[in-house]
Amino acid sequence: MSLALPSGVHFASHAEELRLLRTRPQRAALLLLFVALAVFPVVASNYLIGLAISASITLIAVVGLQITIGMAGLLNLGQSAFVGVGAFTAASLYANHGLPMLPCIVLAGLASGLVSIFFALPALRIKGLYLALTTIAAQVMFPIVVLRLPESWFGGAAGIGIDQPRLLGTAVDTPAAFYGVAVGVAALMLLLAFNLQRSHVGLVFRALRDNDIASSVLGVELGRYKIMAFFAGALFAGVAGGLYAFYIRYVTTDQFTIWLSIWYVGMLIVGGLGSPLGAVFGTLAITALQEAVHAGGTRAMNLLPALSGGTIFAMTNVLLGAAIIFMLIKEPHGLAHRWRILKTAYRIWPYPRG
């Protein structure tokens, strides 16, 4: 009577075990998910569609962080600066140089990746933990440098605006149309991350995360792979930034603060570091939390006018900070681990999970 998952474990080959979708019901479930995602913009309000677009963009950045932090074990506290590099690159290429939208987003990803290499260079000498410090450097230097670059590049303090995003000749200015682009790109990036995890490179990342000295003895070029992990994570951030630029249509440096970087890390910790699925759970959970705080905060502000928008920001910080500490102490593998336990329990029912 299996509905979604096989009962017991009976793979006949390694390739079979590596497959992302193992059974027909799983494929059906995925198809259902796609149908639900396609129907969503038809039935949902513009506010909810906007929320879904933001969540998709955030998801791409957090999935990138999962590659750097979760797969390769290198702490990155500057992800929002890399999102910013992507956003500025895309906006500048589109508004100032007239490139089409898709190449802009791809180049935004590459630009972020290249910038990240500079900050990953110390990885040749130090262990993953201390890389956190160079990524903080990236985060602090980002606005200072962007504001000083010539205005014809990134618009200086005024930022860059995008008039009307056009994709393959058609305007994508309605929420529903942009929803299609954002969710499509997010799904593609998620697939890339899942594939990276089970590829040769993903296995090397995992080896150097678990024990970098042992993996170097086994012939892994540590520096090269650490820089690759950084590059991959920042590439995702750049793509997220490119999408963000076309969605918000206005890019300035104060949209990419260290708080955003920390929120990304928080989402990943709450969701679980171990797999891209954790990024999905974390992004959804924290976005829901932010919405709850926002809704509650707006209601409270109507009652108590003394409260301000800053209070909502502060409240989000307090809750997310508490959530991070709670998860690290009680469930370091995150929500994704709970999900896995649930699946295992279902699969081996009626036996108790081991």
Partner 1 sequence: MNVLQIAIDGMLAGLVYGLVALAFVVIFRASRIVNLAQGQLVLVGAYVMGTLMSLLPLGAALAAALAASVLVGIVVERFVFRPLIGQPVFAIVMASIGLLILLQGLVQLIWGAQTRPFAQIFPEGAWRLDTLVINRRLLIGALITFAAVEALRWFFLKTRAGLRLAAVAEDHYVALSLGVSVRGATRIAWALGAFLSTVAAMILLSGNVLGLQASEIGLRALPVALLGGLESLRGALLAGLIVGLGEAFAAQYLDRLTEGAMSQIFPFLLMILVLLIRPQGLFGWKVIERL
Cβ(234)–Cβ(65) below 8 Å: no
Distances (CA, A) of 305 to 292, 316, 317, 318: 19, 19, 21, 21
* 213: contact with partner 1 by CB under 8 A: yes
Which residues inside 54-93 make contact with partner 1, applying CB under 8 A?
Answer: 73, 75, 77
* 125: contact with partner 1 by CB under 8 A: yes
Bridge partners (DSSP) of residue 167 are 170
Cβ(147)–Cβ(22) below 8 Å: no
Q: Give the contacts of 220 (CB within 8 A, at least 6 positions apart).
A: 204, 207, 208
Bridge partners (DSSP) of residue 250 are 161
Tokens of 80: 């929002």
Binding-site size for partner 1 (CB under 8 A) equals 53
Output phi, psi for 260, to 5 deg: -60, -45
Residue 262's closest CA among 127, 123, 69, 73? 69
Give the number of C-alpha atoms closer than 13 A to the C-alpha of residue 212, restricted to the C-beta side.
18
Cβ(70)–Cβ(275) below 8 Å: yes
Q: How far is Cα 39 from Cα 5, in angstroms, rounded to an integer?
A: 25
* 315: contact with partner 1 by CB under 8 A: yes
* 141: contact with partner 1 by CB under 8 A: yes
* 303: contact with partner 1 by CB under 8 A: no
* 121: contact with partner 1 by CB under 8 A: yes
Bridge partners (DSSP) of residue 171 are 166
> In the complex, what is the shortest distance from the CB of residue 211 to partner 1, in angstroms, rounded to a whole number?
8
**Among 18, 102, 129, 288, contact with partner 1 (rule: CB under 8 A):** 129
**Among 63, 113, 316, 336, contact with partner 1 (rule: CB under 8 A):** 316
**Among 20, 140, 188, 345, contact with partner 1 (rule: CB under 8 A):** 140
> In the complex, what is the shortest distance from the CB of residue 231 to partner 1, in angstroms, rounded to a whole number?
17
* 321: contact with partner 1 by CB under 8 A: yes
**Among 259, 292, 342, 343, contact with partner 1 (rule: CB under 8 A):** 259
Name the one range near partner 1 by CB under 8 A: 33-41, 175-183, 223-231, 263-271: 263-271
Output phi, psi for 165, to 5 deg: -70, 130
Cα 222-126-233 angle, rounded to 5 deg = 65
- Cβ nearer to partner 1, comparing 203 with 314: 314
**Among 26, 257, 311, 344, contact with partner 1 (rule: CB under 8 A):** 311
Name the one range near partner 1 by CB under 8 A: 59-67, 106-114, 124-132, 165-173: 124-132
- Cβ nearer to partner 1, comparing 64 with 109: 64
Name the one range near partner 1 by CB under 8 A: 30-38, 95-103, 140-148, 238-246: 140-148
Q: Give the contacts of 16 (CB within 8 A, at least 6 positions apart).
A: 22
Residues that bind partner 1 (CB under 8 A): 73, 75, 77, 119, 121-122, 124-126, 128-130, 132-134, 136-137, 140-141, 144-145, 147-148, 211, 213-214, 217, 258-259, 262-263, 265-266, 269, 308, 310-311, 313-325, 328-329, 332
